[in-house]
Amino acid sequence: MERLSIWAPDGLPEISPGDDLGELVADLLTGQDEPDRPRDGDVVVVTSKIVSKAEGRVIAAADREQAITDETVRVVAQRQRPGLPPLRIVENKLGLVMAAAGVDASNTPEGTVLLLPVDPDVSARTIRAALAQRLGLRRIGVVVTDTAGRPWRDALVDIAIGCAGIAPTDDLRGSVDAHGRPLNVTVTAVVDEIAAATELVRGKSTGRAVAVVRGMGHHVTADDGPGARVLVRSSADDLFREGSAEAYARGLADGRADAGPAS
Amino acid sequence: MERLSIWAPDGLPEISPGDDLGELVADLLTGQDEPDRPRDGDVVVVTSKIVSKAEGRVIAAADREQAITDETVRVVAQRQRPGLPPLRIVENKLGLVMAAAGVDASNTPEGTVLLLPVDPDVSARTIRAALAQRLGLRRIGVVVTDTAGRPWRDALVDIAIGCAGIAPTDDLRGSVDAHGRPLNVTVTAVVDEIAAATELVRGKSTGRAVAVVRGMGHHVTADDGPGARVLVRSSADDLFREGSAEAYARGLADGRADAGPAS
């Protein structure tokens, strides 16, 4: 029997630039009843929103669209809808393909937007070190989450954009099924599943930006590990590097040029 | 404080065609210690693999590739890799875009493959009715999961391909953040997040194909509800209806035709 417990304590104060987030999260967690205080093998999950706020990633931006442009490394797909801001799905500086580059204009003061952390894996390592020291733990995982859309499926799920002290994947390649055949399901995105699981207790409009997961100790590691960056698919393996309309338009232009005046 | 408990009991027997899965799951769950027996508001999560087995979706297939072709409604993207079977990402009869159409050749006897349930929402409703009756519960949710890849991110996560008695999404549109601004994160795919959460306790190579989630009672409904089918994005909203290479090739051909002999 495997068992997981996930809880999201209330009471984290509003986070401001320069706050020591690791200390504030440690304060929150040590203030819980004893059974809910983190133990070795637990995973502490925080939203990128509070990490960004602590790291001063709130910027004045009269124009959210300009902020998105600034965070964009590469446009993947876009669509203009009547009466709405353009939908832009882009690769951002973290290699993440997200709508609006991950720029967030909710839960920030008017006239400002929130950018993602500069390096959420580094943020996770910093929080992990603070928690390990304050809580006296040797093995504690940290995951930094954000909310993302998916092609082909409506609605959003949380994913892991940073992690430390936890193996980001569970690699089953080489194991066999009950019939001795290789498992064709090979690598599971464990930290993405942890991020999704904690969204269920965290909600969006509340102050619960921290969650604890107990029962994943077999994935918690003694070192920081590779981080969630390893989950970003390489461009060589990416069959959806451009939106269908964008790729078609590029093909059409190339085809016309091929067969154009020179032909 | 929100709190979620998730557990995956061992001991479900090997499932065979014609088995009454609802009864077998009820047997498994009523055999647990009292605190782990389902209560009103719990969600019971089962893998599509055992649903398919019970529904007799194991078919003889000397050629897995032919089975994938038969399940394909529309090819989205494909890639031929040296020494490997072709990678085919297709829309299947359920509207799901998946590698290999969701056809599974692991954990089945040699020479057979496992197809997805004909209608996993109907499967979920049937299991829910059996559980509600056997367990004497009025409100119990059921989710049927499968494992899927995602563009742009490596590794796999579990998603919900069927559900009953649980609201598939959490619609936050209309709610406001702490600053009174509309939340730009609007609709959360709750049942996908539940599927992902339970994968963490279920694993892949084990016999744990059933999990219980306690703490989502606010999403459990008195009726079956719309099912997980509502999470399939409409083609009008799908910016990745074709792989980049496929869309480019179509554009190139059209461009050459445009500018061809007639020009």
A232 in reach of chain B (CB within 8 A): yes
Distances in Å between the Cα of A249 and the Cα atoms of A89, B208, B234, B241 are 17, 48, 22, 14
Between positions 25 and 54 of A, the ones with CB within 8 A of B are: none
- Average predicted confidence (pLDDT) for chain A: 92
- Average predicted confidence (pLDDT) for chain B: 92
pLDDT in tens, B192-209: 999 999 999 997 666 799
Q: Is the pLDDT of residue B1 over 60?
A: yes
In angstroms, rounded to a whole number, what is the distance separating the alpha carbons of residues A29 and A18? Answer: 20
Characterize B153-163 residue by residue with b for buried, 16 or more Cβ atoms within 10 angstroms of its Cβ, and e for exposed.
bbbbbbbbbbb
Mean pLDDT of A204-217: 88
pLDDT in tens, A92-131: 999 999 999 999 877 788 889 999 999 999 999 999 999 9
Burial degree of A69 (CB within 10 A; 0-12, 13-18, 19+): middle
Q: Is the pLDDT of residue B30 over 70?
A: yes
In angstroms, rounded to a whole number, what is the distance separating the alpha carbons of residues B199 and B8? Answer: 9
| Model confidence pTM above 0.90 | yes
Q: Which two tokens stand for residue B173?
A: 């549109």
Helix (H, G, I), strand (E, B) or coil at B204: coil
Find the CB nearest B155 among A108, A157, A189: A189
Instruction: Kindly give the pairing relationship between strand B112-114 and strand B58-60.
Output: antiparallel
Find which of B152, B170, B231 to mutate to test the A interface (most A CBs within 10 Å of its CB).
B152
**Is B156 in Cβ contact with A187 (below 8 Å)?**
yes
Q: Work out how many CB contacts closer than 8 A connect A with B.
A: 332
- Fill in the DSSP letter of residue B36: G
**Is A241 in Cβ contact with B244 (below 8 Å)?**
yes
Provide the shortest C-alpha distance from residue A202 to chain B (in Å). 7
Least-confidence region, from A101-105, B35-39, B61-65: B61-65
Residue B134's pLDDT band, with cuts at 50, 70 and 90, is: very high
Q: Which two tokens stand for residue A102?
A: 């991950």
In angstroms, rounded to a whole number, what is the distance separating the alpha carbons of residues A245 and A79? Answer: 9
Find the CB nearest B204 among A97, A155, A183: A183
pLDDT in tens, A225-263: 999 999 999 999 999 999 999 999 999 999 999 876 654
Distances in Å between the Cα of A225 and the Cα atoms of A95, A128, A131, A161, B135 are 19, 12, 16, 14, 44
Between positions 123 and 162 of A, the ones with CB within 8 A of B are: 147, 150-159
Helix (H, G, I), strand (E, B) or coil at B50: helix
Give percent of chain A above pLDDT 70.
Answer: 92
- Fill in the DSSP letter of residue A232: B
Residue B170: CA count within 13 A, CB half-sphere: 24
pLDDT in tens, A40-83: 999 999 999 999 999 999 999 878 899 999 999 999 999 998 88
In angstroms, rounded to a whole number, what is the distance separating the alpha carbons of residues A103 and A81? Answer: 19
pLDDT at A186: 77
ipTM of the complex: 0.95
pLDDT at B153: 97
Helix (H, G, I), strand (E, B) or coil at A92: strand
Residue B177's pLDDT band, with cuts at 50, 70 and 90, is: low
Provide the shortest C-alpha distance from residue B167 to chain A (in Å). 13
**Is B2 in Cβ contact with A202 (below 8 Å)?**
yes
Q: Is the pLDDT of residue B125 over 60?
A: yes
Please, where are the H alpha helices in B4-63?
21-30, 48-54
A6: closest chain B residue by CA: B4
